Structure 1
């Protein structure tokens, strides 16, 4: 049994640091190259594990060398991989992350095996035994099946649909979600009628909108809170949004029921912004600060 199940992409990342993102027909210098595990579901699971939560991941990798390496990294981070599907004769999804001197990221990737999990592959009991389910980008029908299983069992659900929101119909999964994470572009796609009152538009859900370097806001049925973020020298913004989501959930889960009367969304927003800042200050998508690391960072801000 795990406390938090994350579901979605498990990738292998190749990070290329360049002096500048090249213009069309241009060229850039590669300053360094790094290979490691990635994918939003995996990143959030690792971050939560680093904050002393028992985390497990539902996803898929190929039966190749990078799939073996991705699974090994997750296990070494303390993440339960019993529901990480290995797809025969398939390549693990590889993402090429091009990072410039300001920490901005451009992503290239192959289709790979990271969306092989279908509704029929889901173990509903694994989800039902958890305290919380966190969904990231994946097959819409799989996300919906996972969210339905969690809701039927009384397990809270959060969803960070990611950059493919515009091209996919996640309506059913969103209908089951209690907490929704969006960036500014995704918010304009999903909340085109009312950007001022997103919680009302999404029928009372907790809506967290990430503004990048400008911080973030959280809207609930009972109020709205904004945090300006922290001044941080960005080295690599890869995975900062995943660290943010992990921090927000960790603070809520640490206090008990993430939807209960004791939930402190304003505090969770501050903590999440600190996690995002710490992630952006380091290279790679896999940053897992402990509670003590984040608290020390926050203490240094005041």
Structure 2
């Protein structure tokens, strides 16, 4: 049985470390290249599993070599892939991540097969088997279906819609979400766009501010954490690691200050190393937190 079920994109990432992010008509020098599994739903699932949380995944891959490698990484991380769909004669989504010398990231990619899961493909019993469901960017109708199933079963739902929030109608999924994760830019879009601030009055809103920490707004109180003083090497996956640390802390407690601390710690540890799949183990997290005091 899984405690947390994540749903959304499963990609293959190609990370290029460059001297600077390219501008129009400009050129950048590549220092190094590496490849690994990626995608927010898969990243959160792996990070939760490293934190000793039994985790399952709903998503889709192509039947190509990249899909085989991505599935093998998930299996190796002890993520339950019972909800992972393989699409015949399709390519797995590949994202090219350009990381500059201060850890900032730009992304190029194709959609591939990563939105092949339709509402009809969702296994209702698989969703109902979880204690918590975490949604990431995906087809809005599929996100809405998963959120509806979870909400009807009394299962808590968190949603991190990601950078495409302004371009997609996630209103149905947001309506069933108990916790919403946004970064600074996404929060501005939410407050100024169709998702007005009042829409979040009865739920938990988490604003991720990168190296400046994070804030949580609940119906009863607000909390903040300044983050940890680390020099970022690669911010890829840091937000996903933050979500994993935050969710894992709330599974057995409603201590939002502790959740913020652990989320920020997971994000900081991940940003201090290369790659999106470097989230900490339980021992790594505890050692890091002990070193801060």
Q: TM-score, normalised by structure 2?
A: 0.97
Shift of 1:204: 1.1
Shift of 1:119: 0.2
Question: How big is each residue's C-alpha offset from its partner over 1:91-115, in whole Å with a ceiling of 9 and x where there is no partner?
Answer: 0000000001101101000120000
Between the aligned partners of 2:154 and 2:267, the Cα distance in structure 1 is 29
1:213 aligned residue: 211
CA RMSD of aligned residues (A): 1.4
2:140 aligned residue: 140
Q: Which moved more, 1:285-294 or 1:102-111?
A: 285-294
Q: Which moved more, 1:17-26 or 1:41-50?
A: 17-26
Classify the secondary structure of the residue corresponding to 1:114. coil
> In the alignment, is residue 284 of structure 1 matched against residue 261 of structure 2?
no
Count matched residues: 292
Question: How big is each residue's C-alpha offset from its partner over 1:55-106, in whole Å with a ceiling of 9 and x where there is no partner?
Answer: 1100000010000000000000000112100011110000000001101101
Shift of 1:288: 2.7
2:269/2:279 contact within 8 Å kept: no
Shift of 1:201: 4.1
Shift of 1:20: 1.4
1:275 aligned residue: 266
List alignment gaps of at least 5 residues for structure 1: 256-261
2:9/2:41 contact within 8 Å kept: yes
2:81 aligned residue: 81
List alignment gaps of at least 5 residues for structure 2: none
For residues 172-183 of structure 1, what are the structure 2 equivalents within 5 Å? 172-183=172-183
1:191/1:201 contact within 8 Å kept: no
Shift of 1:294: 1.2
Between the aligned partners of 1:117 and 1:149, the Cα distance in structure 2 is 15
2:250 aligned residue: 252
1:7 aligned residue: 7
2:96 aligned residue: 96
1:242 aligned residue: 240
Question: How big is each residue's C-alpha offset from its partner over 1:98-156, in whole Å with a ceiling of 9 and x where there is no partner?
Answer: 00110110100012000000000000100101100000000000000000011111111
Q: TM-score, normalised by structure 1?
A: 0.94
Classify the secondary structure of the residue corresponding to 1:191. helix
Between the aligned partners of 1:220 and 1:192, the Cα distance in structure 2 is 20
Classify the secondary structure of the residue corresponding to 1:89. coil
